Amino acid sequence: MPPRALAAYFPILDWGRRYDRHALSNDLIAALIVTIMLIPQSLAYALLAGLPPEMGLYASIAPILLYAIFGSSRVLAVGPVAVVSLMTAAAVGNIAEQGTAGYITASLTLAFLSGAILLVMGLFRLGFIANFLSHPVIAGFITASGVLIAASQLASLLGIKAEGHNLPELGASLWQNLPMINPITVAIGLLGLTFLIWVRKGMKPALRRLGLGPRMADVLTKAGPVLAVVVSTAVVWALGLADKGVAIVGNVPQSLPPLTLPGFDLALIKDLLLPALLISVIGFVESVSVAQTLAAKKRQRILPDQELIGLGAANLASSLTGGFPVTGGFARSVVNFDAGAETPAAGAFTALGLAIAAVALTPLIFFLPKATLAATIIVAVLSLVDFSILRKTWAYSKADFAAVAATISLTLIAGVEVGVSAGVILSLALFLFKTSRPHVAEVGLLQGTQHFRNILRYPVLTDPSLLTLRVDESLYFANSRYLEDYIHARVTGDTALKNVILLCSAVNEIDMSALESLETINIRLKEMGIQFHLSEVKGPVMDRLQTTHFLTDLTGKVFLSQYEAMQVLAPVLMATAVPLARG
């Protein structure tokens, strides 16, 4: 395989050749900042997924290394993220009980299946599938997931137990256990929550007012969550609060990621296959959106199909090293970008930092209160919640609003699996609905031009014996009958009509169903004594039509331009038109 072709599958061969000391310096600084941020986040997201905290660290080491080799983004930071962690808990919670070996095995298997699905999609260049997911619907799902995640963490913040995968279940469980609130845990959680919110909004300006430089102020701000972890852990240890009912992380194994094997039981794979597909698609959409946004700022290019391979390799690595499903995270990727990361090597250095933390720092978090991690998660998901999408879609498109509202409602009421499944179905249904009723405009000639516009919007020239219809959509099985009925309704009773032209300037495709509809239209018009013509047919569409008998049976002609059609079919009208201006 030529080096260029090999680099297409291994982007590291491209950026690695140009790696220099300047890039190394920037990548090391970015890795330090992101590592500091990821330590508490990784622990928190593992707990959110219902897994031991160390699995969050494990899921942030090998996956990052594999993505650095196969991924096309220079700054995307791969690891556990809030939405995927919640989806993991929902999927695995239906199969095994939290805290059991079966739960961990199912999580590993989920990561393996997700990785395999992503890898197959990448190898077969199926990245376009994600385009069928409506962005407003995805935004609605992520918003609802953010609310669910925050609600699920209230139990740890209050020092009580709560179960459930949707808002009604969580609400009922919280209400039932409300009398068992631990005041000390509440104090720790609320103080941590207040501090972390201040870190996001006010810490950097405060440090700048104290005279610190922009880079140092930024580093310390990113380290804010670590400070919350250190202080709360020290307080719990010094005051012996674990003996007073404050839930703590407890013993975390002091080791590098172990070698693990997912379960290959067919029943388990069958149960996890659909959740793995949903996690893969949602994770890919979220990851590519972040990667493309950040790449655009540096005029770099993201290859969606290669991203599938990179994320697939990352998830396979996670399943084999004690992790769970991962994807590119918005917050950590933005931090990586802002910290000056030049290449994916920054991710490799981050993995090294996390590996050191897994070996050397885990004994120090024995007394870390779970309330602090809950506060970390709640603050992290605040950026996911954006109910303004409802207002925006209501103002722009009622159909989009209905899809978003349904996705949010179903996610909150029935859980993430039902919500994301509904989101996928609604996205496809919305696409089919919009394209099944294409905009069809009756057009006429603008005086002094060769342009044709909608007769309802512009003062145009028309001929009673000639009808020109412009269909603003490709013709396929879902909308071909609509066009058939539209033309039939329009020409019925119009005795002056002699010619109908279908202006095809916006038609990029005509499938077999649409071809049969065009044949039916041609026959019906012939029976009415009306000729059927086409104009401005695109080359690829014309090539397909020429392989059929449709053009032979067509009662009219195919015109290169609509203006030419008017000259031939309405010569009297064209003779009275204002001539084109000459200059």
Domain 440-576 - what CATH class? alpha beta
Asked if 320 and 260 touch (Cβ cutoff 8 Å), the reply is yes
Could you give the angle at the alpha carbon of 255 between the alpha carbons of 249 and 260, nearest 5°?
Answer: 100
Q: Is 177 helix (H, G, I), strand (E, B) or coil?
A: helix
Give dist(CA 437, CA 440) in Å, integer.
9
What phi-psi label fits residue 129: left (phi over 0), alpha (psi between -120 and 50 degrees) or beta? Answer: alpha
Q: What is the pLDDT of residue 8?
A: 63
Q: What is the pLDDT of residue 443?
A: 97
Using only the alpha carbons of the chain, give its radius of gyration. 30
Residue spans of the domains in the chain: they are 3-251+260-429, 440-576
Sheet of strand 499-503: strand arrangement: 452-454, 440-445, 466-471, 499-503, 531-535, 558-559
* Lookup result for tokens 């802002």: 338
Q: What are the helix (H) ranges across 326-397?
A: 330-338, 345-360, 370-381, 388-396
Give dist(CA 311, CA 121) in Å, integer.
11
Q: What is the pLDDT of residue 91?
A: 93
The DSSP code sequence of 146-191 is HHHHHHHHHHHHHT-----SSHHHHHHHHHHHGGG--HHHHHHHHH
| Beta-bridge partner residues of 454 | 443
Q: What is the pLDDT of residue 4?
A: 57
Q: What is the pLDDT of residue 583?
A: 44
Q: What is the pLDDT along the chain (583 residues), one digit of tens a residue?
A: 555 556 666 788 878 888 888 888 889 888 888 888 788 889 999 999 999 999 999 999 999 999 999 998 988 999 999 899 999 999 999 899 998 999 999 999 999 999 999 999 999 988 887 777 788 888 888 899 889 989 988 999 998 988 888 899 999 999 999 899 999 999 999 999 999 999 888 888 888 888 888 878 877 787 788 889 899 999 999 999 999 999 999 888 989 999 999 999 999 999 999 999 999 988 998 888 888 888 888 777 888 899 999 999 999 999 999 999 999 988 788 878 877 888 889 999 999 999 999 998 888 889 999 999 999 888 888 878 889 999 999 999 888 898 899 999 999 999 888 888 888 888 888 888 888 999 999 999 998 899 999 999 999 999 999 999 999 999 999 999 999 999 999 999 999 999 999 999 999 999 999 999 999 999 999 999 999 999 999 999 999 999 999 999 999 999 999 999 999 999 988 888 766 555 4
For the record, the structure tokens of 410 come out as 């179903």
Give dist(CA 510, CA 85) in Å, integer.
43
